[in-house]
Amino acid sequence: MTKMLINGVLREKPTQPGGHFQRLPSQFRRWIEADPGAPFPAEPGRYHLYLSKACPWCHGVDLVRRLCKLDEVVSVTWMAAISAEQGWVIDQTMFDDASGVPRDLYLYQVYQRAAPDYTGAISVPILIDKKSGEIVSTDSADMMRNLAQIFAGPNGPDLYPVALAREIDQLAELIQAPLRNGVYRAGFATSQAAYDEAVEGIFATLDKLEERLATRRYLTGLRLTEIDLKLFPTLLRFDPVYVTHFKIDQHRLSEYPALSRYVADMAQLPDVRPTIDLPHIRAHYFLSHRHLNPHGIIPKGPANRHATMGEQTGAA
């Protein structure tokens, strides 16, 4: 569950009425700008990300970072696979002392330092301005578009081309609430009605996506765009995690030929493959969400090529 800072103490987010899980809106939504006089000007090396390899929202940000070749432009601190009572734990084995940020133990310490009066969700991803110490953004969609547009450069991929902007925005509406949020609304539902409603939306959306991808390589055609980097992380986790852990077992993704082809195709792209760490992903969900899996048992998982590919890839 998401943790919140309340008077400097971490508390669980309150249960929503009717058993519905409701994702809290991002409270930090500022942008890096090309204007040198802007509050957050586009300076390579100035900004820092806090990401988790398990989180699908972070995965989208990492995909942009890889595809746009931003490894040397925006530094990263990674979360450990398993969360603690204190929330997200920072992976000390992957910490880069050259990043210029303090070596914290827990993510909530980052929030306390950057925004001492903050009382919202303690979540990833976070984009920090190392110069001012302020939080620029906690909204993954904003980060994906902002980092790509500001730092990709003239030779980088255009992930939000003008000619496809309207189509990309319409597809984002199609997948965001019913699918990307829907898997969590099903998994964290505390009433049958809330669960049933979420599951119905998930599979209705998968049916639409299956039909669309039957005639397209990517969601908008032959060109990889921002919307593919939002959908792929959710689909990648579907059979290995969500089917079992979130009880979304009406169908498996492997039953959808076009969606299965799409995931396999995406997963083999050179800049995408290093972002996949299925053992880490599965450990996080099954060992961190103890209210759903109190004994911490990790299922064997689907014996399919997507799981095998991810396990062989490992952490990057």
How many residues can be counted in the chain?
316
Q: Where are the alpha helices (DSSP H) in the chain?
A: 56-67, 107-114, 140-151, 165-175, 182-187, 192-213, 226-237, 243-245, 257-267, 278-288, 305-313
How big is the chain by its Cα radius of gyration, in Å? 19
Q: Are strands 9-12 and 3-6 parallel, antiparallel or unpaired?
A: antiparallel
Amino acid at 35: D
Sign of the torsion angle spanned by Cα atoms 271, 273, 278, 279: negative
184 labelled catalytic: yes
**CA–CA distances in Å: residue 105 to residues 84, 266, 286:** 11, 34, 22
Torsion angles phi and psi, residue 23, rounded to 5: -75, 130
Set 108, 118, 184, 195: catalytic member:
184
Secondary structure, 3-state, 133-148 = CCEEECCHHHHHHHHH
In the sheet that holds 74-78, the strands lie side by side as 74-78, 47-51, 126-129, 135-137
* DSSP structural state of residue 267: H
Set 47, 55, 106, 118: catalytic member:
55
User: How far from the centroid of its chain's Cα atoms is residue 296's Cα?
Assistant: 23
Amino acid at 209: L
**CA–CA distances in Å: residue 286 to residues 175, 233, 275:** 24, 17, 20
Q: How far apart are the first and last CA of the chain?
A: 26
Q: Hunting for tokens 């997948």 — which residue is that? A: 175
Q: Hunting for tokens 């309207």 — which residue is that? A: 166
Residues labelled as active-site residues:
55, 184
